[in-house]
């Protein structure tokens, strides 16, 4: 099997040889030609087979001629300079960066372009006089980098980066370094005349460096602790804020009263390490969006027929479409509103909304709903409900999409911190009371020292570093989780609900099974020839599934809309299509409710090809593994046709439910949760969006992680779905690592407390003990997670 020089795919359907190189399709060859003739073949030197085969459909971008839409998309527009940013999901390697930043070589109208690789976006500066926005988008699409333009782009312009954490980290780090430097003389207790002279200056400098650390870098901890206390929760930030506050007050008191040098180094170090942990945890995958709703999928514009008599077509923003307007939907276009068919034959793929894989045929006068994708010929629709009120968008008004799921979840850290805070406060009070009687001069010292040393810096670091590391490991394997709390929640899951179509079955590949009288070789050849000529989606997929027995070009070919095709070959007539078209009456029995293509030859009914989904590899093994400690349920939008096959894959005690609409799935998950179960939903597409949002964890499975991911907690590469059980293991072990780190940090705290309670806490002890505990926790968690990930297969 040859693989394509451009995109590296196997050349399955056709093989084009050009320039002594093989290509899998004309698109790939064209891109190669474009790049080669423009002196850009260096693209292929950077990486082997770096390209993406382009899907050319240039009329798709007609709406980019509408000035109003262009205006909304442009970031900057003045005379000869226009700037626009696009998200390009197909950016994947350094070759992509190179070619996209050399666009000006392909077209002189492009002034400059800059790629942001982690975000998979490109910012283009161009001259509209030379190249229009539409031409620019077409240019990008032609070389395989089709921008993703949806209703979402329309709403929000480039959101501002939140850089406050980097600033805070910078401030804390800067102050930490300087304060450490200034405290050296005190660490070594050098009794040197000059250093003693300048000690006060050093101390006041340290004080001034610590001010921004406490009041700027550390302010989030005070705010969070205040909020927690107000709502009656003792979260981890309470002891931290207390620690920071006591450190600052005691240190300031010490230098004011000339008692000592204070703990400014520990203070700034503490804040610095805490922020470092936060920074580590915050690293998420910016190129993936976890908050997608229907707007990310809907087109920006539709074709409206503005004047019924003159049939003037115009591209209009989706939001401007009103009830009663007439719109045109072409092949492969998404229907963005509920409407009634005026003209044409609709073959609608609702898999997006219902999960049902079969095409739905609708004739004139029928109602169609938003979210369906038209396959085949052009249709004319009358709008019944505009976008905002359509059936699909109403799903998003469900309250599950409003609530923040991580709220109400008690993380391990917070659960421990409650007891921890209480313990620390009691020790502090007890120790102080004791010293009040034993030696009142030391009481104040002991009280503050206990609060300082007990500040749960190491505990607060354990979770961010472990979970942050695990997030990274998960990401490397192809499962991208929204944030660290998802891992903790994952460890607690006891029920896993799978969607069927597109999740445990593959979307693209279907297999067909033939039932009926045997077809002769000649008939098979005729069948191949007829199917090749047809553009109906079912014929296309059947054609690609059938093994080719040579192809005969039909002598005559006729397509009946909504029924099938009829072809003649040397006096033989073959009919392919619906049961009634081919003359079979009791079709129900044969096809058993499945999608089928029926065939008759010379007016004799032969049989039918029934389609069915292929299950992903390793599903049965995964179900067995999961069923050891979890309850498995499969929810499907499809009919019961597949029940037997599904049952054979699943462990006996699992549940299977068919005919589930999006709302039903959501309700089903809610019922499970009412029964006290912790549910993980694994699904794809918009039809599962409600269920994904309702469950404890919603994981969206996708074959191309850049394209489809409805609002969820994680996006998973479909090819690794069979390893899901291993990830549960990993999440569980991650939680044990955190627990182990807690124990380790408690040891430090107890050691420190021994110093504090006895009234022996010297600045130098604090300066050694506090960073030591933090750093050793970081090292411990990093090593432990590394070892865990090594054990993971793949």
Phi and psi at residue 132, in whole multiples of 5°? -80, 165
Contacting other proteins (CB under 8 A), which of 10, 39, 158, 388?
39
Phi and psi at residue 553, in whole multiples of 5°? -75, 125
Question: What is the DSSP track for 514-542?
Answer: EEESPPPHHHHHHHHHHHHH---HHHHHH
Contacting other proteins (CB under 8 A), which of 56, 98, 360, 506?
98
Contact between 391 and 673 (Cβ < 8 Å): no
The structure tokens 């300066």 sit at 767
Contacting other proteins (CB under 8 A), which of 194, 508, 586, 743?
194
| Chain centroid offset of residue 235 CA | 29
What is the smallest separation between the CB atom of 632 and other proteins, expressed in angstroms?
39
Specify the 3-state DSSP secondary structure of 259: coil
What is the smallest separation between the CB atom of 18 and other proteins, expressed in angstroms?
7
What is the smallest separation between the CB atom of 564 and other proteins, expressed in angstroms?
43
Residue 360, strand partner residues:
348
Q: Which is nearer to other proteins, 176 or 611 (CB)?
A: 176
Contacting other proteins (CB under 8 A), which of 55, 68, 75, 118?
118
Contacting other proteins (CB under 8 A), which of 56, 205, 378, 384?
205
Give yes or no for residue 101 binding other proteins (CB under 8 A): yes
Give yes or no for residue 583 binding other proteins (CB under 8 A): no
Q: Which is nearer to other proteins, 114 or 736 (CB)?
A: 114
Radius of gyration of the chain (CA): 33
Contacting other proteins (CB under 8 A), which of 62, 116, 130, 314?
116
Contacting other proteins (CB under 8 A), which of 74, 97, 229, 551?
97
Q: Which is nearer to other proteins, 288 or 724 (CB)?
A: 288
What is the smallest separation between the CB atom of 775 and other proteins, expressed in angstroms?
23
Q: What is the 3-state secondary structure (H, E, C) of 143-172?
A: CCCCCCCCHHHHHCCCCCCCCHHHHHHHHH
Tokens encoding 578: 């619906």
Give yes or no for residue 108 binding other proteins (CB under 8 A): no
Give yes or no for residue 191 binding other proteins (CB under 8 A): no
Q: How many residues bind other proteins (CB under 8 A)?
A: 33
- Residues in contact with other proteins, shown as a per-residue x/- string from 416 to 455 under the rule CB under 8 A: ----------------------------------------
Query: Exposed, middle or buried, 160 (CB in 10 Å: 0-12/13-18/19+)?
Result: exposed
Measured over the CA atoms of residue 514, residue 520, residue 521 and residue 527, the dihedral's sign is negative
Q: Which is nearer to other proteins, 261 or 613 (CB)?
A: 261
From residue 469, alpha-carbon distances to 236, 289, 779, 785 in Å are: 20, 20, 11, 7
Measured over the CA atoms of residue 168, residue 170, residue 176 and residue 178, the dihedral's sign is negative
Burial 188-217 (b: 16+ CB within 10 A, else e): eeeeeeeeeeebeebbebbbebbebbbebb
What is the smallest separation between the CB atom of 202 and other proteins, expressed in angstroms?
8
Rounded CA-CA distance 153/158 in Å is 9
Work out the angle at residue 458's Cα, subtended by the Cα atoms of residues 455 and 459, and round it to the nearest 5 degrees.
85
Q: Which stretch binds other proteins (CB under 8 A): 64-72, 94-102, 254-262, 546-554?
A: 94-102
Question: What is the DSSP track for 173-235?
Answer: HHHHHHHHHHHHHHHTT---HHHHHHHHHHHHHHHHHHHHIIIIITHHHHHHHHHHHHTT---
What is the smallest separation between the CB atom of 117 and other proteins, expressed in angstroms?
4
What is the smallest separation between the CB atom of 78 and other proteins, expressed in angstroms?
21
What is the smallest separation between the CB atom of 205 and other proteins, expressed in angstroms?
7
Tokens encoding 174: 């800067």
Q: Which is nearer to other proteins, 37 or 306 (CB)?
A: 37
Rounded CA-CA distance 638/360 in Å is 13
Q: Which stretch binds other proteins (CB under 8 A): 193-201, 227-235, 408-416, 611-619?
A: 193-201
Q: Which is nearer to other proteins, 98 or 514 (CB)?
A: 98
Contacting other proteins (CB under 8 A), which of 12, 166, 223, 312?
166
What is the smallest separation between the CB atom of 15 and other proteins, expressed in angstroms?
17
| Nearest CA among 361, 365, 372, 357 for reference residue 562 | 361
From residue 23, alpha-carbon distances to 1, 7, 37, 100, 175 in Å are: 12, 8, 17, 22, 59
Q: Which is nearer to other proteins, 190 or 429 (CB)?
A: 190
Q: Which is nearer to other proteins, 119 or 661 (CB)?
A: 119
Binding to other proteins, residues 45-74 (CB under 8 A): 45
Give yes or no for residue 407 binding other proteins (CB under 8 A): no
Q: Which is nearer to other proteins, 201 or 754 (CB)?
A: 201
Residue 110, strand partner residues:
126
What is the smallest separation between the CB atom of 167 and other proteins, expressed in angstroms?
6
| Nearest CA among 12, 97, 89 for reference residue 50 | 97
Binding to other proteins, residues 18-37 (CB under 8 A): 18-19, 36-37
Q: Which is nearer to other proteins, 117 or 434 (CB)?
A: 117
Q: Which is nearer to other proteins, 106 or 574 (CB)?
A: 106
Q: Which is nearer to other proteins, 173 or 685 (CB)?
A: 173
Rounded CA-CA distance 460/565 in Å is 68
Q: Which is nearer to other proteins, 115 or 682 (CB)?
A: 115
Contact between 773 and 748 (Cβ < 8 Å): yes
Q: Which stretch binds other proteins (CB under 8 A): 98-106, 385-393, 461-469, 570-578?
A: 98-106
Q: Residue 315: in which H helix or E strand, if any?
A: strand 312-317
Rounded CA-CA distance 186/196 in Å is 9
Q: Which is nearer to other proteins, 195 or 423 (CB)?
A: 195
Work out the angle at residue 12's Cα, subtended by the Cα atoms of residues 7 and 17, and round it to the nearest 5 degrees.
65
Give yes or no for residue 42 binding other proteins (CB under 8 A): yes
Q: Which stretch binds other proteins (CB under 8 A): 171-179, 563-571, 609-617, 663-671?
A: 171-179
Rounded CA-CA distance 646/73 in Å is 46
Q: Which is nearer to other proteins, 166 or 517 (CB)?
A: 166
Contacting other proteins (CB under 8 A), which of 47, 117, 127, 313?
117
- Residues in contact with other proteins, shown as a per-residue x/- string from 142 to 161 under the rule CB under 8 A: -------------------x
Specify the 3-state DSSP secondary structure of 564: strand
Contacting other proteins (CB under 8 A), which of 65, 174, 199, 651?
174
Specify the 3-state DSSP secondary structure of 794: coil
Give yes or no for residue 41 binding other proteins (CB under 8 A): yes
What is the smallest separation between the CB atom of 41 and other proteins, expressed in angstroms?
6
Q: Which is nearer to other proteins, 170 or 618 (CB)?
A: 170
Site residues (vs other proteins, CB under 8 A): 18-19, 36-37, 39, 41-42, 45, 94, 97-98, 101-102, 114-119, 161, 163, 166-167, 170-171, 174, 177-178, 194, 197-198, 201, 205
């Amino acid at each position: 099997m040859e693989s394509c020089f451009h995109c590296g795919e196997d050349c399955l359907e056709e093989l084009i040889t050009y320039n002594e190189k093989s290509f899998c399709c004309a698109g790939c060859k064209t891109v190669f030609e474009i790049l080669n003739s423009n002196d850009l073949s260096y693209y292929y030197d950077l990486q082997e087979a770096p390209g993406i085969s382009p899907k050319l459909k240039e009329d798709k971008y007609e709406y980019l001629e509408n000035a109003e839409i262009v205006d909304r998309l442009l970031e900057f527009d003045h005379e000869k300079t226009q700037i626009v940013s696009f998200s390009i999901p197909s950016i994947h390697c350094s070759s992509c960066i190179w070619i996209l930043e050399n666009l000006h070589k392909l077209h002189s109208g492009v002034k400059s372009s800059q790629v942001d690789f982690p975000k998979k976006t490109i910012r283009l500066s161009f001259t509209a006089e030379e190249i229009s926005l539409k031409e620019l988008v077409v240019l990008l699409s032609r070389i395989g980098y089709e921008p993703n333009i949806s209703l979402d782009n329309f709403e929000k312009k480039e959101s501002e980066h939140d850089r406050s954490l980097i600033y805070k980290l910078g401030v804390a780090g800067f102050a930490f370094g300087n304060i450490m430097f200034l405290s050296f003389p005190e660490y070594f207790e050098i009794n040197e005349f000059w250093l003693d002279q300048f000690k006060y200056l050093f101390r006041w400098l340290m004080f001034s460096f610590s001010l921004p650390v406490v009041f700027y870098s550390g302010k989030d901890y005070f705010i969070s602790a205040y909020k927690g206390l107000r709502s009656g929760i003792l979260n981890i930030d309470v002891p931290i804020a207390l620690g920071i506050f006591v450190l600052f007050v005691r240190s300031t008191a010490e230098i004011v009263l000339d008692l000592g040098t204070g703990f400014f180094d520990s203070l700034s170090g503490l804040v610095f390490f805490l922020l470092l942990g936060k920074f580590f945890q915050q690293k998420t995958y910016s190129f993936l969006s976890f908050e997608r709703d229907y707007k990310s999928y809907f087109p920006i514009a539709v074709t409206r027929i503005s004047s019924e008599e003159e049939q003037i077509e115009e591209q209009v923003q989706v939001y401007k479409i009103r009830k009663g307007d007439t719109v045109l939907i072409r092949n492969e276009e998404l229907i963005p509103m509920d409407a009634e068919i005026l003209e044409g034959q609709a073959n609608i793929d609702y898999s997006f909304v219902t999960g049902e894989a079969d095409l739905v045929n609708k004739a004139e006068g029928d109602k169609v709903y938003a979210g369906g994708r038209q396959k085949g010929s052009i249709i004319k629709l009358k709008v019944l409900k505009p976008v905002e009120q359509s059936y699909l968008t109403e799903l998003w008004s469900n309250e599950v999409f409003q609530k923040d799921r991580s709220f109400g979840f008690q993380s391990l850290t917070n659960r421990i911190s409650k007891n921890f805070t209480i313990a620390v406060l009691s020790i502090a009070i007890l120790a102080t009371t004791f010293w009040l009687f034993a030696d009142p001069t030391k009481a104040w010292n002991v009280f503050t020292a206990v609060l300082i040393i007990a500040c749960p810096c190491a505990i607060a670091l354990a979770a961010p570093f472990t979970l942050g590391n695990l997030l990274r490991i998960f990401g490397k394997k192809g499962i991208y989780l929204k944030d660290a709390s998802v891992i903790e929640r994952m460890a607690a899951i006891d029920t896993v609900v799978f969607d069927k179509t597109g999740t445990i079955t593959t979307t693209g590949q279907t297999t067909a099974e033939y039932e009926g009288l045997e077809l002769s070789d000649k008939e098979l050849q005729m069948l191949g020839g007829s199917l090749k000529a047809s553009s109906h989606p079912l014929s296309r997929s059947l054609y690609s599934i059938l093994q080719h027995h040579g192809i005969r070009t039909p002598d005559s070919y006729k397509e009946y809309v909504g029924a099938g095709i009829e072809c003649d070959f040397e006096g033989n007539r073959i009919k392919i299509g619906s049961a009634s078209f081919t003359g079979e009456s009791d079709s129900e029995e044969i096809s058993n409710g499945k999608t089928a293509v029926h065939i008759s030859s010379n007016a004799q009914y032969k049989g039918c090809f029934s389609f069915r989904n292929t299950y992903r590899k390793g599903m049965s093994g995964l179900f067995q593994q999961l069923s050891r400690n979890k309850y498995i349920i499969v929810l499907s939008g499809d009919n019961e046709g597949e029940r037997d096959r599904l049952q054979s894959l699943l462990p006996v005690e699992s549940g299977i439910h068919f005919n589930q609409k999006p709302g039903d799935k959501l309700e089903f998950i809610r019922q499970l949760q009412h029964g006290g179960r912790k549910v993980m939903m694994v699904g794809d597409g918009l039809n599962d969006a409600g269920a994904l949002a309702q469950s404890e964890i919603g994981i969206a499975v996708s074959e191309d992680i850049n394209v489809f991911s409805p609002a969820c907690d994680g996006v998973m590469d479909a090819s690794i779905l069979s390893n899901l059980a291993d990830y549960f293991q990993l999440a569980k072990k991650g939680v044990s690592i955190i627990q182990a780190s807690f124990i380790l940090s408690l040891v430090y705290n107890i050691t420190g407390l021994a110093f504090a309670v006895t009234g022996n806490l010297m600045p130098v002890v604090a300066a050694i003990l506090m960073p030591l505990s933090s750093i050793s926790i970081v090292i411990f968690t990093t090593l432990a997670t590394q070892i865990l990930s090594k054990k993971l297969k793949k």
